[in-house]
A and B are shown apart, each in its own frame.
Chain A
């Protein structure tokens, strides 16, 4: 199956700093990638849809200035958590699809962010 690589898998940062998380599709081109957040023992919550070459589409309630998404190439999307606060501590995971609806979704390994 296709591989989506996410980095880093774990990061600890100080309040007020910014953290960048990378999501790469290693063996296919992904025009669309998705960023999710997961709280403990809860399901995945879609934060935004990352579109190559254009602005990301954010879900209601997600601050676009807080969670900056850049999809500069067909194989790389980045999520930057700006001015991180302890309440941003969470598990973040990306996914990518080879095509549109009805195609298989592949997930990164996830990033556990802890803001101290």
Chain B
């Protein structure tokens, strides 16, 4: 069993839909990272959180430390949100990555 599990693996949506990506981890962590990888390969850090909730524009990330679970929400999705979203558990200065969620948003 992977230490970091993400779901779903693939997700398609119509523009404007509300999107949720889930991440569960089985290890004790100092923080949980949400990353976005575009088709060209570059990775952008979206959030780093160790408790509660963070919001940036249309993106919201939440974490429940007791349940070892985090979610990434995208409100009013847009085709430019199409990318691979990766959660990563921060464990003793190493990042343990989930397998990623490939999101496609159609106009």
Are A and B subunits of one complex?
Answer: yes
Which A residues fall within an 8 A CB radius of B?
1, 32, 34, 38, 42-44, 46, 49, 91, 93, 95, 97, 100-110, 112
**Closest A-chain residue to B33, C-beta based?**
A105
B94 and A100 form a contact (CB under 8 A): no
A1 and B94 form a contact (CB under 8 A): no
B27 at the interface (CB under 8 A from A): no
B95 and A105 form a contact (CB under 8 A): yes
Complex Cα spacing A91 to B13, Å = 28
A8 to chain B, nearest CB (A): 13
Tally of contacts, chain A with chain B, CB under 8 A? 60
Instruction: State which size class the interface on B falls in.
Output: 20 to 34
Question: What DSSP secondary structure best describes chain B's contact surface?
Answer: strand
Query: How would residues 46 to 86 of chain B score, 1 for a CB under 8 Å from any chain A CB and 0 otherwise?
Result: 00101000000000000000000000000000000000001
B45 and A104 form a contact (CB under 8 A): yes
Given A43-B98, A100-B93, A102-B90, residue A107 in contact with residue B45 (CB < 8 A): yes
B93 and A43 form a contact (CB under 8 A): no
Instruction: Tell which of B42, B88, B92 has the most Cβ of chain A within 10 Å.
Output: B42
Q: Which residues of B contact A97 (CB under 8 A)?
A: 93
B3 to chain A, nearest CB (A): 12
Given A49-B94, A105-B95, residue A43 in contact with residue B41 (CB < 8 A): no
Q: Which residues of A contact B86 (CB under 8 A)?
A: 43-44
Q: Which residues of A contact B31 (CB under 8 A)?
A: 101-102
A112 and B45 form a contact (CB under 8 A): no
